[in-house]
Amino acid sequence: MREYIISVMSRDRPGIVAAVSGAAAKLGGNITHLSETVLRGYFTMIMSVEAPDGLELETLRGALAIAGQQGEFEVGVLPFEPEPARREPGPDIRERFILTARCRDQRGIIHRISQTLADAGINIDDFYAYIHDGELIMILEIGVTPGTMVEHVQSEMAGLARETGVTIHLQHIDIFRATTDLQAVLRLGDKR
């Protein structure tokens, strides 16, 4: 089997996942990973597909593109290439953190935050941002490798917050989950 990473984008409507997954299955493909979201009325999906060895990349892309109405789906296909092997075998040892930020919408703030993380060698694994009533709200899940000085990153973020007026919080994912879940339970108790 060969593996491909596939992206699909189109205007949102019911049935897109069914159409794309059905087209992949008809070609003998198996979806092993999938992430999908709708952003401002546009459907976006990325998935990993195992396909039979003889299936050509362009055949796969073409079949997925015509799974919808003519010209509806924008499809990208890349051969999957595994990450280079780490020197030390074993599980991912990165610490997971959640960075939340909010501010009045301002040009370049996503770049400033992401560049600060990149300069520290921190990878963004998931990023969600939207504007509501003129306020930009961001939630990032990041992976911090051992040896990264989290205190230094927090200091850099605090400086950025003072300079730009952004409210930024960086928490270990376990603390974020515990306090977020607890707050939801407490809010339910307030409704009695």
List the structure tokens of 178.
């515990």
Dig out the tokens for 79 from the structure: 């051969």
**According to CATH, what is the number of the domain 2-79?**
3.30.70.260
Q: Nearest 5°: phi and psi at 165? A: 85, 15
What helix, strand, coil percent values describe the chain, rounded to 5? Answer: 35, 40, 30
CATH fold match for the domains 2-79 and 95-190: yes
Q: At what angle do helices 150-164 and 109-119 cross, to 10 degrees?
A: 160
Separation between Cα atoms, residue 80 and residue 100, nearest integer Å: 31
Residue-range domain boundaries for the chain: 2-79, 95-190
Q: What is residue 176's predicted lDDT score, i.e. its pLDDT? A: 83
CATH class assigned to 95-190: alpha beta
C-alpha triplet 129, 134, 138: angle, nearest 5°: 20
Query: Across-strand partners of 79?
Result: 4
pLDDT tens figures, 32-42: 999 999 999 99
pLDDT in the model for residue 82: 86
Determine the pLDDT at residue 111.
93
State the pLDDT at residue 150.
Answer: 84
Q: Which residues of 60-76 are buried (b: 16+ CB within 10 A; e: fewer)?
A: bbebbbebbeeebbebe
Task: Report residue 182: phi and psi, to 5°.
Answer: -60, -45
Query: Quick one: pLDDT at residue 64?
Result: 95
Query: Which pTM does this prediction carry?
Result: 0.72
Q: Which residues of the chain have pLDDT under 50?
A: none
